[in-house]
Amino acid sequence: MEKKEVIVEVKHMDKRFGSTVALNDVSITVRRGEILGLIGENGSGKSTVTSIIAGMQKADGGEMLYEGREWHPSSMINALENGIGMIVQETGTVPGITVAENIFLGEIEQFKKGVINRKQMMRKAGEILDSIGASHIKPQMITGALDLQDRKLIEIAKVMSKNPQILVVDETTTALSQIGRDIIYKIMEKMKEENKAVVFISHDLDEIMNVCDSLTVLRDGKIIVTFAKEEFNEDLIKTSMIGRELQGDYYRSDYDGRYDSEVVLEVQDGNLGDQLIDFNLQLHRGEILGIGGLSHCGMHALGKVLFGAEHMAKGKVLCHGQMVKDEAFAMKNRIGYVAKDRDVESLCLNASIKDNIAAGGLDQFAVSRFLILPGREKAYVQKQIDGLSIKCQEMNQYVSALSGGNKQKVVFGKWIGRGSEILILDCPTRGVDIGVKQAMYQLMYQMKKEGKSIVIISEEMAELIGMVDRLVVMKDGRISKEFERSNTLSESDIIQYMI
């Protein structure tokens, strides 16, 4: 295979955050006309290296060449102006300003003729949105009023408006529905055709193997291996990502979708805006129930409703026949809830592992449900840390310093520790690396076998197919289809009911 022209070369890059080494002697080559995939567990350094290339932060050592010249971007805007654009994993838009202002964030000067010419800015923003196929977004809309997907599209518009030579897509697709994904894929393909380059980061192995021309695996801040398209092999990639062979099953291996007939949690005639419409659902003892759909089909709201964290306009949620009126009631009845937006909803980042795990189990280890003895608290927390093998220096370490997977383990520890019988998991493996994912799947399966009930709300079809006893597909606040567990179920079967 002929080697294509090199556009960016990273040589021996080092980066450190305090005492943790994020990048250790990393060298990457990006070529024109190619989509390069980066894959690795959380904290492997893939986002770090791309964010350095795109000017978000600076390296501690090593060098970068861009089109043969030394490359030291001062900011993302600076990088973008020079042809390197990045769409970030987290929200990259400012909610309180208009779409147009977001598109020209940090480069408003171009409309300055004495004062900022607003009209001109709006017009130009409209043109850019049209060009990427997102005409439904109007430039003067307030960004915060748009949904996640449209906000991502704005970021894409912002980047594409600069006509970049290199596009970095950092786990963007996780947050998008198929429509959004298609827009991105189209853009990536187009760039490739125009002999530009794309760096694509994703956790989704299937996706990355489909899209990319070559694939670089990182682990613990080091480059492990680079595969060319023809060398792609799922097991091999996985092994190199986690540094060992995956032992045992990834998902559960059985296709026995049986569960107890006893209903432990149910929604009756639920109505909540356009999120839930005349909604009925039952969860049984020992059942893993999957909820699938597009990101705004109402399933995330359903998760909150089941936990009593959101109140429906009409209808009721019953747990063992009793109304779930609030979160405290839900917890008393051994319901646990792992929220989708982990850093915002499930964890207190500026608190220790101990604080976070203990917060869920106060009534478990407190004497007379009130008095807290430090010894008992520590023992309780240590048990969860050991049980879930949370990687940390000590339990007083701040959660903010942990990797995504370990953070999620802390969340699990919070709920499992208190002996939850019913777990509502909203995108439990979002942003979690394969090793941890596997552990979690096995844990869920184990819990099912113990007679516990689990609801998995997920946008990843593969994990739903792999794990659930029963799959409910939602569309626009209603159930559009129900599937029983089967080894013949495929993603395309499901997707047609989602769109």
Query: What is d(CA 464, CA 409) in angstroms, rounded to the nearest whole number?
Result: 20
Other CB atoms within 10 Å distance of the CB of residue 123: 12
Distance of closest approach, residue 347 Cβ to another protein, in angstroms = 6
Which three-class secondary structure state does DSSP give residue 437?
Answer: helix
Distance of closest approach, residue 18 Cβ to another protein, in angstroms = 7
Return the residue of 148, 224, 225, 349 that touches another protein, per CB under 8 A.
349
Residue among 5 and 326 whose Cβ is closer to another protein: 326
Query: What is d(CA 317, CA 281) in angstroms, rounded to the nearest whole number?
Result: 9
Return the residue of 15, 124, 414, 485 that touches another protein, per CB under 8 A.
414
Binding string, residues 294-323; x marks residues near another protein by CB under 8 A? -------------x-x--------------
User: Quick check: 327 binds another protein (CB under 8 A)?
Assistant: yes
Return the residue of 127, 194, 363, 386 that touches another protein, per CB under 8 A.
363
User: Quick check: 339 binds another protein (CB under 8 A)?
Assistant: yes
Distance of closest approach, residue 335 Cβ to another protein, in angstroms = 10
| CB within 8 Å of 40: residues ≥ 6 apart | 46, 217, 218, 219, 224, 241, 433
Distance of closest approach, residue 208 Cβ to another protein, in angstroms = 24
User: Quick check: 375 binds another protein (CB under 8 A)?
Assistant: no
Which three-class secondary structure state does DSSP give residue 207?
Answer: helix
Return the residue of 65, 148, 362, 495 that touches another protein, per CB under 8 A.
362
Q: Distance of CA 155 to CAs 49, 120, 167, 291, Å?
A: 20, 19, 12, 29
Query: What is d(CA 132, CA 14) in angstroms, rounded to the nearest whole number?
Result: 36
Distance of closest approach, residue 109 Cβ to another protein, in angstroms = 6
| CB within 8 Å of 145: residues ≥ 6 apart | none
User: Quick check: 116 binds another protein (CB under 8 A)?
Assistant: yes
Binding string, residues 30-59; x marks residues near another protein by CB under 8 A? -------------------------xx---
Residue among 68 and 106 whose Cβ is closer to another protein: 106
Question: What is the Cα Rg of the chain in Å?
Answer: 24
User: Quick check: 105 binds another protein (CB under 8 A)?
Assistant: yes
Query: What is d(CA 241, CA 393) in angstroms, rounded to the nearest whole number?
Result: 23
User: Quick check: 1 binds another protein (CB under 8 A)?
Assistant: no
Query: Restricting to residues 122-181, which ones interact with another protein according to CB under 8 A?
Result: 144
User: Quick check: 88 binds another protein (CB under 8 A)?
Assistant: yes
Return the residue of 337, 380, 441, 483 that touches another protein, per CB under 8 A.
337
* DSSP 8-state symbol, 491: H
Whether the CB-CB separation of 45 and 26 falls below 8 Å is answered with: yes
Return the residue of 248, 256, 321, 371 that touches another protein, per CB under 8 A.
371
Instruction: Tell me the DSSP string of 319-362.
Output: ETTEE--SHHHHHHTTEEEE-SSIIIII--TTSBHHHHHHHHTH
Instruction: Tell me the DSSP string of 119-161.
Output: HHHHHHHHHHHHHTT-TTS-TTSBGGGS-HHHHHHHHHHHHHT
User: Where do contacts with another protein occur on this chain (CB under 8 A)?
Assistant: 18-19, 55-56, 74-78, 88, 91-97, 101-102, 105-106, 108-109, 112, 115-116, 144, 307, 309, 326-328, 330-332, 337, 339, 344-352, 355, 358-360, 362-363, 366, 369-373, 414
